[in-house]
Amino acid sequence: MANPHAGEVALTLNGETRVMKLTLGALAELEAKLGTGSLVDLVERFESGGFSAGDVLALVAAGLRGGGWCGTRADLLTAEIEGGPVEAARAAADCLARAFALPEAG
């Protein structure tokens, strides 16, 4: 079960619910995979709706690895994501937002 307070997002991949989390290592991997631009550019693309399928794929792969998944980006090309591309984009956006959210005062 994903813990949103820990920055986690659930995504069902090939019938198995996985946890996505953008750890520092996952963020560094994501930045390297993007090649151009920065994470700020990526956040702006998601906020404006101008993201690409490649952005979603890179974010999902990094988030899954940050959550402990041992698969590769290539594995995602043939994976069945419950909810399809729309759910993948939603999970990617949520994961990105949670990575930079400040803890709630409590």
> Any idea how long the chain is?
106
- Report if pTM > 0.85: yes
Which pLDDT tens digit goes with each residue over 83-102?
999 999 999 999 999 988 87
* Candidate from 2-11, 40-49, 64-73 with smallest mean pLDDT: 40-49
Q: Alpha-carbon distance 68 to 25, whole Å?
A: 12
Q: What is the pLDDT of residues 7-28, one digit of tens each?
A: 999 999 999 999 999 999 888 8
For the chain, the 3-state helix, strand and coil shares in percent, each to the nearest 5, are: 55, 10, 35
Neighbours of 31 (CB within 10 A): 15
pLDDT at 5 over 90: no
What is the four-CA torsion angle of 30, 2, 7, 64, rounded to 10 degrees? -10
